[in-house]
Amino acid sequence: MTQDYQSNELIDRLPKHLKQFIKPQNYDDYTPIDQAVWRYTLRRLVNHLSKVAHQSYLEGLEKTGVSVDAIPSMYGMNRILKEIGWAAVAVDGFIPPNAFMEFQAYKVLVIASDIRQLEHIQYTPAPDIIHESAGHAPIIANPDYAEYLRRLGDIGAKAILSKHDMDMYEAVRKLSILKEAEGIPQEAINEAEAEITALQNETVELSEMAQIRNLQWWTVEYGLIGYLEDPKIYGAGLLSSIGESTSCLKETVKKIPYSIDAANQAFDVTKPQPQLYVTPDFSKLMQVLEEFANTLSLRKGGRKGLQRLIASEMVGSIELNTGLQISGKFSRMILNDDNEIIFFKTEGPTTLSYREKELIGHGIDYHKEGFSSPLGKLKNINLAIEDMGPVDLKAYSFYDGKWLEFEFESGIKVEGLNITGIRNLQGKLMLIQLSNCTVTYKGEILFAPEWGTFDMAVGTEVVSAFAGPADSNSFPNLYGESLTKTIKKVKNKATEASEQDYALVRYMRESSDASNEQISALFQKYRDNQSKEWLLLLELLEITKDDTLATSVEDYLHQLIESHPSLKVLITDGINLLKNT
């Protein structure tokens, strides 16, 4: 397989189904305009955040290799992140929720390597390198927060999704791509927003993934920390947003003490948030996470857990009380009168594992048509099969080469030739293989001899149910490709000309080789064309040493504010930043 990105020890250990999302950063694709957007945003953010962000943020900027003056390279970031036990990879925009969480569990930050357009410098719904590397990366230098992020990923990766979650993921990905692409008709954007609104307005039970996504949003993305009356910012969505990093601390935004209630608080990715949660410290985040984890099928198992897996229509796993783990797309279960699971079934590729390791010979190639098994105790026998000792097993003919005929308390009947059994570390049976086997229930054939060898799971209850495979390497194609593809930027001559001018200004600043004549000529060009290129003019204002020319540039910037009021905050903050540095 061709690898088009630089790897390291942390990235090497990622399972194959995650590596499919990694793409090269292609640093040379960043234009001079992109670099100017990065520099302006970071300078403005750092200036503002020095007053309102948690102290770990500014310390982390230096520790994680995020420079104010240039878009960071993934290679450079990884070299520094390695020192705090993390890594970073580039991905193409939004990726599936479970995949995102799983990367976190492996202590790998996923960074959307694209950067927002100049028109969206204040805020973009699309994940971009400003949000990811300037928002997420610095704060993980705090050990308590980094462990919370890893643990959130670990638990979140196993949270069970619903079909509604995947529909929402595709809708949000589509909107983010359309909003950042050039030349997209407003009608198309309106339709994408309407699709999200319609999904948000659907009355559906919150899935486990939806709940953990809410926790992620109100902490990792939009979290505040400290005192309720005077909190600091630590959420990456706020840290990377020029607009919301200011507005979020105003009294108009309601501040709520952080608790498990945040799991049920929805959010709108297209709008500023009307309320935010404040945690007193990072340890509180872990307390709430553990409280929430106790409500998940991962820890509770049972009928509801299996029901959620069936409804998700995605690969998930159950663990039986014997330790046997079954991973696949669950399609059916049969319950007894007490709502206990007495039979389950998967369709398509399935694997069997024990302690997160696939059992040899029980991968997707062997169980390619699915897997099914009864559960429970045998009729008129008080002892469960897994609790039988050697003497008990022999008494009931549960040993190799014997013909078996038995009936479960549920009424499921099994008969066939016992081939062999697989035991767990405690020596208890967790799987029995039978040939020429027939399994029936109330006249229905659940397994017939012509279907091959019957592998019967041994166990009486489902103790855990979770998303994804038990062994992370069992399903190399676990996640399918998104239906929505990224729209690549198409440059026109005007854009190319602007890029050349931005490159010239960058060169003049970095080399300190700028003449008043060059700066004046460039300024006159944009003034004569009545251009809205406010950022380029700010950069010219920064490097000019002629007071008269500087006054002319600043006057023109104020004229732009009068003709384009939406630029007022951007231009005013930019001018103030130059005067204060």
Q: What is the DSSP letter of 330?
A: E
Q: Are residues 217 and 309 in the same domain?
A: no
394 lies in a domain? yes
Is the pLDDT at 410 greater than 90? The verdict is yes
Distance CA 518, CA 529 (A): 17
Mean pLDDT (the chain) is: 90
- What is the C-alpha separation between 292 and 267, in angstroms, rounded? 18
How many C-beta atoms surround the C-beta of residue 143 within 10 A? 12
Percent helix, strand, coil in the chain, to 5, is 45, 20, 35
- How far does Cα 228 stand from its chain's mean position? 28
The pLDDT value given to residue 338: 93
**Residue 419, domain member (yes or no):** yes
Q: Using an 8 Å Cβ cutoff, are 335 and 306 in contact? A: no
> Confidence class of residue 149 from pLDDT cuts 50, 70 and 90?
very high
Other beta carbons within 10 Å of 179: 19
Pairing of strands 316-320, 324-335: antiparallel
Q: Assess whether 113 and 219 both reside in one domain.
A: yes
Percent of the chain with pLDDT over 70: 98
At residue 326 the predicted structure's pLDDT band, cuts being 50, 70 and 90, is very high
Q: Which range of residues forms the domain containing residue 381? A: 304-467
User: Which of 290, 315, 336 is where one domain is finished?
Assistant: 290
- The pTM for the full model equals 0.87
Region of poorest pLDDT, from 68-82, 303-317, 454-468? 68-82
Q: Is 2 a residue whose pLDDT tops 50?
A: no
pLDDT category, 553, cuts 50, 70, 90? Answer: very high
Indicate whether 97 pLDDT > 70: yes
Q: What DSSP character marks residue 82?
A: G
90 and 199: one domain?
yes
Please determine, for residue 393, whether its predicted confidence score (pLDDT) is greater than 90.
no
Q: Are 312 and 276 found together in one domain?
A: no
Do 281 and 377 belong to one domain? no
Secondary structure element (H or E) that encloses residue 146, with its range: helix 143-156
Compute CA distances 485 → 4, 95, 121, 165, 210, whole Å: 19, 11, 23, 19, 24
- Cα separation, 543 vs 70, whole angstroms: 17
pLDDT reported for residue 1: 38
The CATH number for 434's domain is: 2.30.30.100
pLDDT for the residue 4:
54
Residue 89 counted as domain residue? yes
Q: What is the pLDDT of residues 29-43, one digit of tens each?
A: 999 999 999 999 999
Higher pLDDT: 296 or 493? It is 296
Residue 70's contacts (CB-CB under 8 Å, 6 or more residues apart) are 35, 38, 39
Whether residue 463 is contained in a domain is answered as: yes
pLDDT by residue (tens digit) across 235-265? 998 988 878 888 899 999 999 999 999 999 9
Question: Average pLDDT of 52-60?
Answer: 88
Question: Which residues make Cβ contacts (< 8 Å) with residue 250, sequence separation at least 6?
Answer: none
Q: For residues 505 and 561, state if they share a domain.
A: yes
308 and 284 both lie in a single domain:
no
Q: Does residue 281 sit within a domain? A: yes
Alpha-carbon gap, residue 354 to 359, rounded angstroms: 7
H or E element that contains 349:
strand 341-354
Q: Output the six-digit token pair for 106.
A: 């492996």
Structure confidence by residue, pLDDT tens digits, 181-234: 777 889 999 999 899 889 988 888 899 999 999 999 999 999 999 999 999 999
In total, how many domains does the chain have? 3
